Structure 1
Amino acid sequence: MKKKSMLANDGKWMAVALAAVVLLAGCDEAASPKEQASAQASTAVVLDAATGLRWLRCALGQTWQGGRCVGEAEALSLMDAQERVQALNVKGHEGISQWRLPTVVELAALRRCDHGLVDEQFTLELSPEKEPVTVPRWCARETSVPTIDSARFPDTPLVKFWSGSGSEAAQHFYAVDFSNAWIGLNEAAEAAHAVRPVADR
């Protein structure tokens, strides 16, 4: 894996992730490790046991084939991203009809950095109705890319991914860049980013 100078991410989540057992959507929770490993090699959805969230392993535009994400991730405006996610629900993609854009906190929790995250905290102003949230903004030092668990999310492109968190009034929403673990605001109408849908369990 090539190395790249990075900016950091959520240390608490890394500790939780290391302790968590990764289960996949559709798997019997009582399944043996061998059965779980077999399912992990064949399903397009991964269940995070620590949070209960179900994630598509591939970005929209990619296809899950033989344990890999094949094809190019689509770059979508926020509105197009929301419409594409709704279309997944209409057809019950992967047997699930509750897909949505992840919150910025959920998306940021997927970041992985070889040396953890910076101590500096970044305040996320989510909306007038919600309390601000603070998270580490980027990787502490040089790290492998993409800044995500490539076993669970293979072939993740080195691009920004939309979250559903932001200001409807100002039309600025947060995105997470998995080339450097950076979090920032982007214009909903003009920016085009990748999308990784999530569903509550």
Structure 2
Amino acid sequence: MSQGWKAAGALVLGAVLFACGGGGGGVSAGAGSADASGVRLLNDTGVTATAYDATGAYVTSCNAAVSGNDCNTGRDATSSDNSDGKAGFSFEKLDAAGKALSASASNWNCVRDKLTGLVWEIKTSDGGLRDLNKLYTNHGDNRSGDASEFVAAVNVAGLCGAKDWRLPVAGELLGLVDYGVSYPGPTIDVSWFPNSINSWYWSATQNAALTTGSEGVDFFAGISGFYGREYTHAVRLVRGSLLSEAGRYQFSADAQEVRDSRTGLTWRRCSEGQSWVGSSCAGSAATYTHAVALLRASSLAQASGKAWRMPNIKELESIVDYSRFNPAIDPAVFPSATASLYWTSSPMASSSLYAWTLNFMVGGVESGDRDTAYPLRLVR
């Protein structure tokens, strides 16, 4: 590999299947069109105003934020064009045959995410097959009222000229969440996804610890978690192929960093407070309040000359391994990881007292009290 990186091997990391950390540049044309390169761009969070200053205090202007905040990194900062979706999001409306429409079209059936290449179902309010108020179980056996029965019906109907609709995996569904929207949401760009409801939506991601459960994403606020499949939730279908995990990660020459070729992000393999010894991370992960974690990232960036920072919530979620539990992360890539909540740079829009965390016990997105001490993993 170039630049001292060496392949980590064909690693299988569960159902996190899209990428290009915090906002690569170009856009792709069709459903799954980014798949040929093994890359699928990662949507940014939608956070553009709320942030934290150099002391870790909550501020409502990104101009007052210290470098490395959610609002001043990624496409939210570099490609904030509201003509095709809020901030760094980039969408395209499609008609009943799957043909592109203008952004001003008043009727559309599907939306193409031009960053991920995925195509999404638009809900209706007509009481029909795709009505916004219909809820489903998630047993996957085509029983009456199940999400699987709904998938089959939509494919028979050929929505937007396609018959390869499916339930999204957790990372794909979380990619639509707009964390700049306050509770009770819906935390999605309703200008492009009308008839969205403040509800849990099912994903296809299963729970490694609870085999009878599947992951859902809550569009009230943007949290995620596992429910028993007998519960009824909303469903939004997607089309686009799943990416291979083979050859995704490369280690640095000293093995202390790992580059995710899917996202373009480089991670410290050890949690902060641990040290690299031999071929693993020694010691225990340190814990920090959110303000101190921000300062830790900033000071390490200055001392190392590398642009280390706290990851945003979608970046951190991209390294979750949902096939694992306690911790939900691959130990070959991130050894001696802690099964704990980890801090992100993403503020909670509805409260200055909380920021978003990723629970590496099971892989769920949760809010965390900023005065509570949690571990930290840095990215650049």
TM range (shorter): 0.5 to 0.7
- The partner residue of 2:90 within 16, 21, 37 is 21
Contact 1:45 1:55 in 2 (8 A): yes
1:49 pairs with 2:114: yes
Equivalent residue runs for 1:1-201 within 5 Å = 12-14=44-46, 15-16=74-75, 18-25=87-94, 26-28=98-100, 36-38=102-104, 40-58=105-123, 62-63=125-126, 72-79=132-139, 80-114=146-180, 142-143=182-183, 145-167=185-207, 170-188=211-229, 190-200=230-240
Letter in 2 for 1:146: P
Cα gap change, 1:72/1:143 in structure 2, threshold over 3 Å: closer, same or farther? Answer: closer
Query: Which has the higher relative contact order, 1 or 2, with Cα contacts under 8 A spaced 6 or more apart?
Result: 1
User: Aligned pairs, how many?
Assistant: 152
Q: Identical aligned pairs, as a percentage? A: 28
CA offset at residue 90 of structure 1?
2.2
TM value normalised by structure 2? 0.36
Provide Cα deviations, 1:122-178, integer angstroms capped at 9, x if missing partner.
xxxxxxxxxxxxxxxxxxxx4561111111111211110000011487121100111
- Relative to total residues, which structure has the larger strand share, 1 or 2? 1
Output the CA distance in 1 between the equivalents of 2:110 and 2:172.
16
CA RMSD of aligned residues (A): 2.9
What SS is found at the alignment partner of 2:152? helix
TM value normalised by structure 1? 0.65
CA offset at residue 53 of structure 1?
0.6
Output the CA distance in 2 between the equivalents of 1:111 and 1:21.
13
Cα gap change, 1:187/1:143 in structure 2, threshold over 3 Å: closer, same or farther? Answer: closer
Cα gap change, 1:82/1:43 in structure 2, threshold over 3 Å: closer, same or farther? Answer: same
CA offset at residue 41 of structure 1?
2.3
In structure 2, stretches of 5+ residues that fail to align are: 1-41, 47-73, 76-84, 140-145, 242-380
Output the CA distance in 1 between the equivalents of 2:103 and 2:191.
12
Output the CA distance in 1 between the equivalents of 2:156 and 2:43.
36
Larger Rg: 2
Letter in 2 for 1:164: A
- Alignment-derived partner of residue 71 in structure 2: none
Cα gap change, 1:20/1:179 in structure 2, threshold over 3 Å: closer, same or farther? Answer: closer
Cα gap change, 1:56/1:72 in structure 2, threshold over 3 Å: closer, same or farther? Answer: closer
Output the CA distance in 2 between the equivalents of 1:143 and 1:195.
20
Cα gap change, 1:143/1:84 in structure 2, threshold over 3 Å: closer, same or farther? Answer: closer
Contact 1:45 1:54 in 2 (8 A): yes
- Relative to total residues, which structure has the larger helix share, 1 or 2? 1
